[in-house]
Amino acid sequence: MDEKANRVYKDNVFRLLFKDESNAVELYNAINGTNYAADAVKMNMLESALFYGKLRNDISFTVDDRWIILIEHQSSVNPNMGLRCLLYVADIYKQMIETDELYKANLMSIANPDFVMLYNGQAPFPEKAVIKLSDLFIVKDGREPNLEAVVTVYNVNKGYNSDIMAHSKTLDGYAAFIAKVREYQNSGLESTESLQKSVEYCIKNGILDEFLKKNGGEIVNLLNFEWNMDDALRVRGEEGAETRAEKIAKKMLKRGTSIEIIIEDTELTEKRILELKKELKI
């Protein structure tokens, strides 16, 4: 399975799992050592017409009207996650706050943001790390930054962060499912068959069994749909139509953005990005 296909199936499984309030609060409690109930959670709808297509957060919810939780699932570590989370939370604040309140003399009370990234890639990575918005600032003169967003990154591959896994059965099952898909991939099975056999194995062994009984077919169908869309875009590219992703990739190349980040944000292949780079004579 290629890297884009890897991102697709893991992304869909993650979203389907944790858009449920019970699973979302279970994950939050496991990470933070809290004991909130599902009725304390309100899921946020967050889709903004920014950058490529829609800038979409994986999971966002408020807890007890005190915390805004933003959770990202990534197959590769994105060093720009601090900026992305800043844009996400600004959008949520705009949805939560009446504009007139900003101009009144009364002191406002707003929910605290909590930024989390769950890493599930195959490249070596520690159990826990931190990404900061201030790491991106052009000027770093030792002074405290006037604006900051801190993202805590947890490695959620099987065998990592055992304490969190012990307190979130859903996350532990998710990690086991991903590990099983990779195991079948490494044995030489094709992508769709790897997914189907992983679904069957997990249901048989009580791993996310109820979830997979309900959604297993959808997960495989979503992946196949994405592949069909890729084929359509490839044909359009062969006919000379420049996709929106390619236009954005060219802009990013001109700004000196790394190829890894361009791949993450546009989902173009490395080969296509290198071709664009050659066309631009960079």
pLDDT at 199 over 70: yes
What are the residues whose beta carbons fall under 8 Å from the beta carbon of 43, sequence distance 6 or more?
A: 19, 21, 24, 60, 61
Total-model pTM: 0.73
**Mean pLDDT over residues 197-210, rounded?**
94
For residues 114 and 130, is the Cβ–Cβ distance under 8 A?
no
pLDDT at 275 over 60: yes
Residue 175: Cβ-neighbour burial (10 angstroms; 0-12, 13-18, 19+): buried
pLDDT at 16 over 80: yes
Q: What is the pLDDT of residues 63-109, one digit of tens each?
A: 998 899 999 888 888 899 999 999 989 988 888 888 788 888 888 88
Q: What is the mean pLDDT of the chain?
A: 83
**Mean pLDDT over residues 132-140, rounded?**
92
